[in-house]
Amino acid sequence: MQRRVEAILFADVVGYSRLTGEDEVGTWRRLQNVLRNVVRPQVRQHAGRIVRIKGDGILVEFPSAVEAVSSAVALQQTMAQRNAAHADGKRIDLRIGINLGDILTIDEDIHGDGVNIACRLEPLSDPVGVCMSATVHEHVRAKLAYPFEDRGERTLKNIATPVRIYALGPEIIAKLPRSEPRSDTHEKSWRWYIAAVAVAWLCAAALWALWRYIGPSSEMAAVQTSSLSPRLRPAAEPRVPTGTQPQSIVVLPFTNATGDPSKITSRTGSPKT
């Protein structure tokens, strides 16, 4: 069990019981399509994690209140755009509640008042709108230029202390500028990891090929040289001390200058017998 502070988002489908009563299979399929193509991509783009999906309820955690509110606004804008082409009986509209608080994490699930307040705020949201606690508003009001509506304090079910809430209605959300889609950081990390592994394998293959080309031939030459008899081994070249000039001996013939063959005189005049 771990305790930490997180931003919690809880979303619910408006009139889900009515929709399933009219078309159970079709409603389920449309909801799965929304989860796959809208909710999951938006959550990933804002560094969130879907904790669980139960029926039409979606529980998400974010490391930042700013990311949670930005994700909620982008999600509602995308849903409004998708629903424009559908009749009322085929629309999937969401209500969203957001809270920032202390939570307990147990086996990848989250619990505590931080989660409960987010779930209690969701019914207070307008369809296609967002409702948040004052704690969330305090963290985002200076960072997100949204015209938040102060709706005062509300007493929430099973929550001892009244909670001041702020809201973004569907008309306000529709007028907000749409944020540009951001690339997924997890996908980037995986791409870089795969590229690094590929480069490492290529380097290893190149080194192995180089060793196969050079290594065995050098080792074989050394073995062949060592197996030769001492007479057949190549003679080592004489070494000349570093910094000295090579020396040599010159032998000159003697000249008999006296005519007497018993006496021989060298070129330098020294008699030799």
Q: pLDDT (tens digit, 9 = 90+) per residue, 157-194?
A: 888 899 999 999 999 999 998 865 554 444 444 454 56
Domains and CATH numbers, the chain: 2-180 (3.30.70.1230)
Per the model's pLDDT, the better-predicted residue between 221 and 145 turns out to be 145
Q: pLDDT (tens digit, 9 = 90+) per residue, 215-270?
A: 555 555 554 555 545 554 555 555 555 555 556 666 666 565 666 666 554 444 44
Q: pTM higher than 0.75 for the full model?
A: no
**Paired tokens of 223:** 């073995």
* Residue 227: per-residue pLDDT: 52
Q: Which helix (H) or strand (E) holds 71?
A: helix 65-83
Q: Which amino acid is at 53?
A: I
Residues contacting 25, CB < 8 A, separation 6+? none
In this prediction, residue 206 has a pLDDT band, given cuts at 50, 70 and 90, of confident
Cα distance from N-terminal residue to C-terminal residue, the chain? 116
CB hemisphere CA count around 99 (13 angstroms): 23
* Residue 264: per-residue pLDDT: 52
